[in-house]
C-alpha cells in the first residue's frame, strides 16, 4: 500500500466525498474513528483502568466522546473533560455528547480557571490520557486554559494517546501552534498527515497507527496527491534489476567530477557510493596533481587526470576531455570537494548546464548554482538532481540555514519548480521534491550527520540514475537506502562514530535487507509504525 500524505484540507474533501458520494454518514465515520481508538486502548490496558479524555468543541472532540462511550461500556473508569461550553458542540459532536451523557459517561466541564486543579488531579491519577481537543481543524495557536490543560497532560505519568493529531501540531506543516500534546501513540484517521512526519510534529506523534474508518482505499488513492512517505513497498519496484546476462555496460558508467588538494576523500566517497549502489563503472575526473592519491585510494574506480588550476582543482580546459569522454557515460556527480577556484567554477557551470546525461549536483557545485541563478538549470539537456543541505539551500535563496529549516517544504518545492530539477533537501526527514511530486524520507539518524555522508549519497543517486531510474525515484530510493544503511550501522556499531566509508560498505547488505522487508517498519518520532512498543497491560 502506498503511503500518501494528506493535508487538513485534503482530509476534509475525502471526508466530504465519503459522506456525499459514497453515502456513508459522518456519524458512522465518527463512530468508526472512536471505536477504533477505543480498541487500541483495550488492547493495551485492561478494563478498570482509569482513562481521562480531553474533549474539544469540534469533531475531534466528537471522536473523544465516542471513545468515552465505548471504553465505559467495556468497564474502564472514564472521565471526559469538556474544554468547551456545550452550546459549541454541533452536528455529529453534539449527537455524541448526548449519547455519552445518556450512557452515563462522567462529563466534567472545565470552563473556568478555578477548575484547572480538578483537571490536574484527574490527569495525574489517570493511567491513560486521550487527547481529543483538536485534530485537523486546528486553526491558530492554542492559548489560555486549553494550553494549560495540554501542559498538565504532558506532565502526567499516564500513557498518552492522541486522536488523529496531537493537539497543537499543524497537520500541514508539523509546526507547534502554541503548545502541543506529547503522545506516546497517535491514532490517525484513514491516512497519515504531512504534519505527523515532518519535524517538529513527528516528535510529538510517538507511534503512529492508522484507523480504518470505512473510507475505501481506492478513494484515498484516487484523491491523494503524489506526496509520499517513503517505504519499502513503494520503492521496491524501483530497485534496479540485475539480469543474469548483464555485464558492466548494462549497469551504467558514472563520472564523478570531484576532489581537489585536501579534499580527495570527498571524490573517493562519491565514487564508492556509486560502486556500492551497483554502477557498472565509475570514473573520477580530477586535477592531475591529485591523480596518484585517488588511484591509491580507489582500486575499483578509474580516474581521468585533467588540467588543473593553480590550486590543483579542475581547470576550465578540462571541459574538452570531459565532454569527449561523456559519450560512454550514463550519469554523473559534480561538486564534492571540487573547490571554488574561479576557473573551476567556470568549468562546473558548463558541466551543470550542458552535460548530456542525468547529473547529481552537490556541495561546491551548489555554490555555482547559487551564483549563476538556479533558474538557469531549466536549460539543461538531461535531468538534474540537486542535493543541498540547509546551508547550501540557504545560499541559493539568500537565507540562513535556520530560515530554510523553518520552511523546508516550501523551499524544496519552490526550488524544484524554478529549476525543473529534483531537489533533495537533506536533514532529519530529507525531502525529495520535483515540480509535481514530493517524498519524505523516514530513514536515517543523527549518527549520519558527519562530513562525507552526503558525498556517499550523491554517488548512490548517480549510480541509480546510471541504471536508468527516473530522477525522482533515483533520489528517493537513494536517500532511503542511504538512511537504512545508517540505521543498520547505528545498531551494529553504536549510535555515532561510524564513518561514511562504512556507510558505503554497508550498502549491499542493506539492499538485501531492504528487498526482504515485508512489513512497514518506519521510524516515526519515538515509535514504529505497525509495531507495539508500549507499556504492558495490567494482568
Ligand atoms: N475526515 C476524517 O477522517 C474524519 C475526521 N473526524 C475527526 O474530525 C476532526 C476534524 O474535525 P473539525 O471539527 O474539522 O476540527 P477539530 O475538531 O480539530 O477542531 C475544530 C474546532 O476547534 C476550533 N479551534 C481551532 N483552533 C483552535 C484554537 N487554537 N483554539 C481554540 N479553538 C480552536 C475551531 O473553531 C472549531 O470549533 C479530525 O481531526 C478527526 O478527529 C471525524 O470523526 C469524521 C471522520
Ligand atoms: K487530538
Q: What's the structural domain count of the chain?
A: 2
pLDDT at 522: 43
Q: Which of 27, 85, 134 to mutate to test the pocket of ligand 1 (most atoms within 8 A of CB)?
A: 134
Judgement on whether residues 251 and 173 belong to the same structural domain of the protein? no
Nearest residue CA, atom 42 of ligand 1? 30
**Whose C-alpha lies nearest to ligand 1, atom 11?**
59
**Domain boundary residue, one of 198, 225, 252:** 225
With beta carbons less than 8 A apart as the criterion, state whether 165 and 193 touch. Answer: yes
| Residue 207, domain member (yes or no) | yes
Which residues are CB-neighbours of 265 under 8 A, at least 6 positions away? 259, 297, 337, 452, 455
Evaluate whether residue 274 is within a structural domain: yes
Give binding residues for (6S)-NADPHX as ranges: 59-63, 135-141, 164, 266, 337, 389, 455
For ligand 1, whether the C-beta of 188 sits within 6 Å is no
405 in a structural domain: yes
Q: Whose CA is nearest to atom 36 of ligand 1?
A: 58
What integer is the mean pLDDT of 75-98? 98
**Whether residue 7 has its Cβ less than 6 Å from ligand 1:** no
Q: Is the CB of 29 under 6 A from ligand 1?
A: yes
**Structural domain includes residue 529:** no
Our answer on whether the CB atom of 171 is closer than 6 Å to any ligand 1 atom is no
Average pLDDT over residues 277-291: 98
More confident residue, 105 or 535: 105
- Residue 534 is assigned to a structural domain of this protein: no
Q: How confident is the model at residue 531 (pLDDT cuts 50, 70, 90)?
A: very low
Query: What is the domain range of residue 344?
Result: 234-524
The whole-chain average pLDDT of the chain stands at 95
Q: Which whole number is the average pLDDT over 241-255?
A: 91
**Shortest-distance atom of ligand 1 to CA 61:** 17
247, 309: one domain:
yes
Q: Does the beta carbon of 63 lie inside 6 Å of ligand 1?
A: yes
Please check whether residues 193 and 319 belong to one and the same domain. no
Between residues 263 and 244, which one has the greater pLDDT? 263
**pLDDT given at position 396:** 98
Does any domain span residue 537? no
State the Cα angle at 411 between 397 and 187, rounded to 5°: 155
Q: What is the pTM of this model?
A: 0.91
* Residue the block writes with cell 466525498: 17
* pLDDT given for residue 242 in this prediction: 87
Same domain, 37 and 59: yes
Extract the C-alpha cell encoding 59. 469533531
pLDDT at 539 over 80: no
Average pLDDT over residues 133-149: 97
Q: How confident is the model at residue 470 (pLDDT cuts 50, 70, 90)?
A: very high
- Choose the final residue of a domain: 204, 225, 246: 225
pLDDT tens column, 436-448: 999 999 999 999 9
Q: What is the mean pLDDT of residues 20-43?
A: 97
Q: Is the pLDDT of residue 521 over 70?
A: no
Residue-level pLDDT at 526: 37
Question: How far is it, in rounded angstroms, from Cα 354 to Cα 322?
Answer: 11
Q: Range with the lowest mean pLDDT among 68-77, 80-89, 236-245, 476-485? A: 236-245
Residue-wise pLDDT tens digits, 164-199? 999 999 999 999 999 999 999 999 999 999 999 999
On the question of pLDDT at 206 being above 60, the answer is yes
Mean pLDDT of 421-425: 98
Q: Which three cell numbers stand for residue 345?
A: 567554477
The domain spanning residue 355 has which CATH number? 3.40.1190.20
Q: What is the rounded CA–CA span in Å between residue 47 and residue 34?
A: 17
CA 8 to ligand 1 center in whole angstroms? 10
Q: Are 426 and 476 within one domain?
A: yes
* CATH assignment at residue 96: 3.40.50.10260
Q: Is 190 in the pocket of ligand 1 (CB under 6 A)?
A: yes
The confidence score (pLDDT) of residue 248 equals: 86
Q: Is the CB of 140 under 6 A from ligand 1?
A: yes
**Residue 519's pLDDT is what?**
44
Q: Is residue 531 part of a domain?
A: no
Let me know the angle formed at the C-alpha of 455 by 453 and 458, rounded to the nearest 5 degrees: 115
**Is-contact 335 355, C-beta < 8 A?**
no
Q: Which of 195, 225, 255 is the last residue of a domain?
A: 225
Angle at 119 between CA 116 and CA 124, to 5 degrees: 125
Q: Are residues 110 and 257 in the same domain?
A: no
- Residues 39 and 64 placed together within one structural domain of the fold: yes
- Give all strands (DSSP E) within 239-350, no chain letters: 253-257, 281-287, 302-306, 331-334
Binding residue numbers:
59-63, 131, 135-141, 164, 167, 266, 337, 389, 426-430, 454-455
Same domain? For 242 and 200 the reply is: no
Give residue 149 CA to ligand 1 midpoint distance, Å: 17
Is the confidence at residue 398, as pLDDT, over 60?
yes
pLDDT recorded at residue 150 = 98
- 153 & 281 share domain: no
Q: Which value, to the nearest 10 degrees, does the dihedral of the CA atoms of residues 18, 23, 27, 31 take?
A: -70
Q: Are residues 171 and 290 in the same domain?
A: no
> Residue 399 domain-assigned?
yes
Q: What is the mean pLDDT of residues 84-95?
A: 97
In a shared domain, residues 306 and 440? yes
- 213: pLDDT confidence band, cut at 50, 70 and 90? very high
68 and 216 assigned to the same domain:
yes
Q: Which ligand is nearest to the CA of 204?
A: 2
Amino acid at each position: 500500500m502506498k503511503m500518501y500524505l494528506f493535508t487538513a484540507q485534503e482530509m476534509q474533501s475525502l471526508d466530504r466525498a465519503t459522506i456525499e458520494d459514497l453515502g456513508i454518514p459522518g456519524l458512522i465515520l465518527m463512530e468508526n474513528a472512536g471505536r477504533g481508538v477505543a480498541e487500541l486502548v483495550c488492547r493495551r490496558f485492561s478494563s478498570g483502568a482509569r482513562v481521562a479524555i480531553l474533549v474539544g468543541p469540534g469533531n475531534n472532540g466528537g471522536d473523544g466522546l465516542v471513545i468515552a462511550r465505548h471504553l465505559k461500556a467495556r468497564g474502564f473508569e472514564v472521565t471526559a473533560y469538556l474544554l468547551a461550553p456545550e452550546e459549541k458542540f454541533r452536528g455529529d459532536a453534539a449527537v455524541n455528547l448526548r449519547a455519552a451523557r445518556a450512557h452515563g459517561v462522567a462529563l466534567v466541564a472545565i470552563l473556568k480557571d478555578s477548575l484547572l486543579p480538578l483537571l490536574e488531579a484527574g490527569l495525574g491519577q489517570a493511567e491513560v490520557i486521550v487527547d481529543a481537543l483538536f485534530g485537523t481543524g486546528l486553526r491558530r495557536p492554542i492559548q489560555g486554559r486549553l494550553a494549560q490543560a495540554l501542559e498538565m497532560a504532558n506532565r502526567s505519568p499516564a500513557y498518552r494517546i492522541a486522536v488523529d493529531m496531537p493537539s497543537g501540531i499543524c497537520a500541514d506543516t508539523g509546526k507547534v501552534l502554541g503548545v502541543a500534546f506529547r503522545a506516546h501513540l497517535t491514532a490517525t484517521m484513514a491516512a497519515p498527515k504531512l504534519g505527523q512526519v515532518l519535524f517538529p510534529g513527528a516528535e510529538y506523534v510517538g507511534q503512529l497507527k492508522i484507523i480504518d474508518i470505512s473510507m475505501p482505499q481506492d478513494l484515498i488513492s484516487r484523491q491523494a496527491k503524489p506526496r509520499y512517505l517513503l517505504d519499502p513497498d513503494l520503492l521496491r519496484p524501483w530497485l534496479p534489476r540485475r539480469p543474469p546476462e548483464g555485464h558492466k555496460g548494462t549497469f551504467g558508467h558514472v563520472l564523478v567530477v570531484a576532489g581537489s588538494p585536501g579534499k580527495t576523500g570527498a571524490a573517493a566517497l562519491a565514487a564508492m557510493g556509486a560502486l556500492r549502489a551497483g554502477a557498472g563503472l565509475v570514473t573520477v575526473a580530477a586535477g592531475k596533481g591529485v591523480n596518484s592519491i585517488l588511484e591509491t585510494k580507489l582500486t575499483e574506480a578509474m580516474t581521468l587526470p585533467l588540467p588543473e588550476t593553480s590550486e590543483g582543482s579542475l581547470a576550465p580546459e578540462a571541459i574538452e576531455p570531459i565532454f569527449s569522454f561523456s559519450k560512454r557515460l550514463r550519469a554523473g556527480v559534480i561538486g564534492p570537494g571540487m573547490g571554488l577556484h574561479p576557473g573551476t567554477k567556470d568549468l562546473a557551470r558548463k558541466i551543470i548546464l550542458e552535460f548530456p546525461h542525468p547529473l547529481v549536483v552537490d556541495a561546491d557545485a551548489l555554490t555555482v548554482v547559487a551564483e549563476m541563478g538556479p533558474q538557469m538549470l531549466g536549460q539543461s539537456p538531461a535531468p538534474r538532481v540537486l542535493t543541498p543541505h540547509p546551508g547550501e539551500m540557504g545560499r541559493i535563496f539568500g537565507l540562513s540555514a535556520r530560515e530554510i529549516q523553518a520552511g523546508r517544504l516550501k523551499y524544496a518545492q519552490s526550488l524544484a519548480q524554478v529549476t525543473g530539477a529534483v531537489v533533495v533537501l537533506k536533514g532529519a526527514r530529507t525531502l525529495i521534491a520535483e515540480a509535481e511530486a514530493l517524498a519524505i524520507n523516514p530513514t536515517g539518524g543523527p549518527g549520519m550527520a558527519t562530513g562525507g555522508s552526503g558525498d556517499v549519497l550523491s554517488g548512490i543517486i548517480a549510480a541509480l540514475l546510471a541504471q536508468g531510474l527516473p530522477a525522482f525515484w533515483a533520489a528517493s530510493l537513494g536517500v532511503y537506502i542511504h538512511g537504512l544503511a545508517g540505521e543498520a550501522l547505528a545498531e551494529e556499531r553504536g549510535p555515532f562514530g561510524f564513518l561514511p566509508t562504512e556507510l558505503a560498505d554497508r550498502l549491499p547488505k542493506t539492499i538485501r535487507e531492504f528487498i526482504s522487508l515485508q512489513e512497514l517498519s518506519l521510524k516515526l518520532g519515538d515509535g514504529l509504525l505497525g509495531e507495539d512498543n508500549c507499556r504492558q497491560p495490567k494482568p
